[in-house]
Every structure is written in structure tokens, then in C-alpha cells.
């Protein structure tokens, strides 16, 4: 999914937020934002938003000498997710359909996204988790994923955000069968996307092999990923993609991918038949049906 002019205000807002996490020097921030605006004025919008976001964040990290501006937010996200995980695990075990319940909690965890909204909002986070079991996600889409997993020898999970990775771990723990699982993380820090360290902090290393994708793009832009990652992506029996950045950047993939996410962007929603706030279970690519709009969202 290529970028559009509606993405530009979000790019600038995100750049400002990242700068303010590092410095209070308004003159320095203004200078950096001028460079960001210059970059955007010359940049064609012919690639998915995460590709342009990565370019902006590289500039900011280099100029301000901070490798991981979102480090404190990521740590707080993981701590909150671990705090919530015990009660979530109990509710999943007590559910009539534990697999459908764990899928809901995996989507609930996607609220821990500080690219879409940088400020920590405790009520917003808790609301996402406490409504998880009330979400009537499409049973046929969940059953299709379950069926693929039952037959799978290998599974690749594309991680999205730090903190959210705790609920990805719980999802993996509840996979039917005993597939070998790879968990893809970013090659280096960008926004609050999950890195190898964040995945280890979330306990993912106990249930999956952690696989850096070789890039700092906050999505999965295959042409920038490492050959090793692309080999695993192509060969996995099942690929599960978490979050909006992966959804945006994998729109044209030739293989089947299952997407689990919350819609947080009005422009993305309109272009794909969703509304902001929708919870999505969808599959597309390869032999999968293209699932869009209310048919795939609740």
C-alpha cells in the first residue's frame, strides 16, 4: 500500500514527538523538522508509509545521537503487558474456545503502538484488553488460521510492537500442534517496534527462535529485508502478521499471510474498507481470499 498526502501530517507529528523525547531544545527541534519537511517535499509517495517513516527516524536518531528514543516507552509497555498477562492467560484457559480467545488478546495487544499515538494512555490500554473477550471476531477467519496451524510444521510470526510481544508469546503458546516457530523482529530500533532485546524481555525466546529481519523499517518491506529473513518468509507453512505497519507493507505479497491488527489510521481504513477502531482478522496473498471491510473486522 503506497503512501498518500494524508500520511504527511502524521509523518511530521511523529517526527516532532520523537525529537521531544530526546531534547527540549526548541531551536534544534525546529531545525530538524525543517530537514524532515525538506525530505518530504522531495520524496515520492510511491512506497508504503513505513518506508518513509524509517527514513525520517534515521535522520532524527543520527542528528540527535540517540539510538532508541522510545526505549523508556517500550520498557513501560512490556511491564504493563506482563502485568496484564496473568489474568489474560486465566481468561483464555477458561474460555469455551481458547484459541479464539488468544487471537483476541493478540489483537488487543496491538494497542501498544506509539507510532500511531505517542503519549502513554493507561485507560486506552486497559480498555483494549478488557474488551478483548467481548469482541466478536469472525469465526470463519479464526477457524481458517487454526486449520492452517494444525497442519503446519513451520510458522513465522511478524512481530510489531514492544509490549505487544508478550501477547504474541501467549498466542504462540496456544498454537495447535507443535510447529517450529520463528518470531521476526526489527534489525535495529525504530519507534517502539519490537527488537530482539524487547522480544527476549517479553519471554518470546522460550517459545520461538527470534529472527531479526535485517532492517529498521517499521513494517515488513521485503526488498529491504535480509536474505535469511526472506528465505524463512518464503518457506514457512504459515505467516502471521501483527499490526498496521506490516499490513501496509505486505499488501502485494505473493504468498498467503494472516493479518491480526487494530485499525488506527483513517486513511488506511478508508482505502481498505475499514473504520478506525476495527479489529481485523484477515488473510490475503497466495491462495487466500482477499478479506476487506466489515467482512473481516469487528
Rounded CA separation 106/101 (Å): 9
Q: What is the pLDDT of residue 294?
A: 43
What's the 3-state SS for 167-233?
A: HHHHHHHCCCCCCEEEEEECCCCCCCECCHHHHHHCCHHHCCEEEECCCCCCCCCHHHCCHHHHHHH
The owner of cell 491462495 is: 287
The owner of cell 517535499 is: 41
175-212 in b/e form (b: 16+ CB < 10 A) is beeebebbbbbbbbbbbbbbbbebbebbbbeebbebbb
Do residues 220 and 246 make contact, with C-beta atoms less than 8 angstroms apart? yes
Q: What is the pLDDT of residue 290?
A: 42
Rounded CA separation 223/226 (Å): 8
* Burial class of 9 by CB neighbour count within 10 A (0 to 12, 13 to 18, 19+): exposed
Q: What is the pLDDT of residue 119?
A: 60
The DSSP letter of residue 290 is P
Contact partners, residue 174, CB within 8 Å, separation at least 6: 92, 98, 99, 102
pTM attached to this predicted model = 0.92
Q: What is the pLDDT of residue 157?
A: 98
- Beta bridge pairs of residue 193: 161
Do residues 151 and 120 make contact, with C-beta atoms less than 8 angstroms apart? no
Q: What is the pLDDT of residue 288?
A: 47
The owner of cell 511491564 is: 79
Grid cell, residue 119, equals 503519549
pLDDT, tens digit (0-9, with 9 covering 90-100), for 35-66: 999 999 999 999 999 999 999 999 999 999 99
Q: What is the pLDDT of residue 155?
A: 98
Contact partners, residue 57, CB within 8 Å, separation at least 6: 15, 18, 190, 191, 216
| Residues in the chain, pLDDT under 70 | 114-120, 286-298
* Burial class of 155 by CB neighbour count within 10 A (0 to 12, 13 to 18, 19+): buried
Q: What is the pLDDT of residue 297?
A: 37
Amino acid at each position: 500500500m503506497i503512501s498518500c498526502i494524508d500520511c504527511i501530517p502524521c509523518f511530521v507529528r511523529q517526527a516532532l514527538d520523537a525529537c521531544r523525547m530526546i531534547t527540549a531544545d526548541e531551536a534544534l527541534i525546529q531545525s530538524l523538522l525543517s530537514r524532515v519537511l525538506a525530505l518530504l517535499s522531495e520524496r515520492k509517495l510511491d512506497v508504503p508509509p513505513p518506508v518513509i517513516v524509517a527514513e525520517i527516524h534515521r535522520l532524527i536518531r543520527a542528528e540527535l545521537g540517540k539510538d532508541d528514543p522510545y526505549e523508556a516507552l517500550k520498557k513501560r509497555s512490556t511491564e504493563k503487558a506482563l502485568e496484564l498477562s496473568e489474568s489474560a492467560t486465566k481468561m483464555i484457559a477458561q474460555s469455551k474456545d481458547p484459541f479464539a480467545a488468544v487471537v483476541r488478546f493478540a489483537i488487543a495487544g496491538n494497542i501498544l503502538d506509539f507510532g500511531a499515538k505517542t503519549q502513554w494512555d493507561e485507560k486506552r490500554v486497559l480498555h483494549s484488553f478488557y474488551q478483548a473477550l467481548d469482541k466478536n471476531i469472525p469465526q470463519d477467519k479464526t477457524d481458517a488460521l487454526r486449520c492452517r496451524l494444525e497442519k503446519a510444521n513451520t510458522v513465522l510470526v511478524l512481530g510489531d510492537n514492544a509490549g505487544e510481544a508478550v501477547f504474541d508469546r501467549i498466542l504462540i503458546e496456544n498454537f495447535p500442534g507443535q510447529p517450529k516457530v520463528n518470531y521476526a523482529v526489527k534489525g535495529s530500533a525504530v519507534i517502539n517496534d519490537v527488537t530482539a532485546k524487547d522480544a527476549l524481555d517479553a519471554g518470546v525466546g522460550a517459545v520461538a527462535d527470534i529472527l531479526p529481519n535485517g532492517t529498521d523499517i517499521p513494517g515488513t518491506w521485503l526488498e529491504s529485508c535480509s536474505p535469511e529473513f526472506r528465505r524463512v518468509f518464503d518457506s514457512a507453512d504459515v505467516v502471521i502478521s501483527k499490526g498496521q505497519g506490516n499490513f501496509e507493507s505486505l499488501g502485494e505479497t505473493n504468498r498467503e499471510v494472516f493479518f491480526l491488527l487494530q485499525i488506527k489510521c483513517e486513511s488506511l481504513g478508508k482505502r481498505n474498507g475499514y473504520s478506525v477502531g476495527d479489529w481485523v482478522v484477515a488473510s490475503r496473498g497466495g491462495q487466500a481470499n482477499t478479506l476487506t471491510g466489515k467482512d473481516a473486522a469487528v
